Structure 1
């Protein structure tokens, strides 16, 4: 049976991300993002409200949200299992959406600090990027 709440959250995720970042995702990217979000929400236990709030730059300190963000990062190829950020992958996949690609390295240097814990590192990086997205969009 299809869980309509998960589908609704997925649609909200795409809508909010698209509007905030002014990104027009291709149909394939939208399909993948929905699928990844659904899979990560099920495995992490993050609530719909936590996910939507994070997309609005209001991050809870919830372990479930941190697991969700790490899961999405892995599925998108942006972070490895051990928490290493895949800078080239991020640069190549996100560069087409940025108005100033030269700022991407500055943002990654600022936000990809790492602390040894992959979930914490990914969570902190996304929180930092969200707070500094005006640097690149």
Structure 2
């Protein structure tokens, strides 16, 4: 519980500090838009996911898998690339111990690559404050 609260505090500080540069925000926007063209995911469902409401929808799952693959958190088989994920998140939040614990807790291989990515991001989002686009923080 303490780790969860600490991670939330780190994320809040990061958001207030505008942790993503303008170019990183543009890069994430391009990734999201490119994946939307590939997956035809419903923007309303993506918006719900941003707010922490993950609807069990195949296109949304494919969208999340596409994004996590393009940012290097999963490989093409859906395997979570833990070291790379921790490294990228640590670059933004500067607390490898807490981030490593969160990533370890959230890695759980599911039946399909899309299901694995979906559940991974959903779990990471549980560590973030409401309304935070966790996918944008993974740039």
Range of TM-score over shorter length: 0.7 to 0.9
The equivalent position to 1:131 in structure 2, one of 126, 130, 133, is 126
Describe the shift of the 1:20–1:64 C-alpha distance in structure 2 as closer, same or farther (beyond 3 A): farther
Report the TM-score, using the length of structure 2 for normalisation. Answer: 0.76
Structure 2 equivalent of residue 65 of structure 1: 60
For the residues of structure 1 that align with 2:48 and 2:12, how far apart are their CA atoms? 14
Q: Report deviation, 1:133.
A: 3.0
Q: CA RMSD in A?
A: 2.1
**Runs of 5+ consecutive residues of structure 2 not aligned to the other structure:** 1-10, 130-139
For the residues of structure 2 that align with 1:45 and 1:19, how far apart are their CA atoms? 31
Q: Report deviation, 1:21.
A: 6.1
Q: Report deviation, 1:88.
A: 2.0
Structure 2 equivalent of residue 12 of structure 1: none
Contact 2:65–2:118 (Cα < 8 Å) also in 1: yes
Aligned to 1:133, what secondary structure does the other structure show? coil
Answering whether residue 27 of structure 2 is matched by residue 36 of structure 1, we say no
Q: Structure 1 stretches (4+) deviating beyond 4 angstroms? A: 18-21
Report the TM-score, using the length of structure 1 for normalisation. Answer: 0.77
* Greater shift in the superposed pair: 68-77 or 79-88: 79-88
**Runs of 5+ consecutive residues of structure 1 not aligned to the other structure:** 1-17
For the residues of structure 1 that align with 2:109 and 2:13, how far apart are their CA atoms? 25
Structure 1 equivalent of residue 3 of structure 2: none
Q: Report deviation, 1:114.
A: 0.8
Encode CA deviations 1:79-135: one digit per residue, 9 max, x unaligned: 00001111222122111222632111211111111124110000001111101236x
Structure 2 equivalent of residue 46 of structure 1: 41
The equivalent position to 1:110 in structure 2, one of 87, 105, 112, is 105
Pairs aligned (count): 117
For the residues of structure 1 that align with 2:125 and 2:58, how far apart are their CA atoms? 18
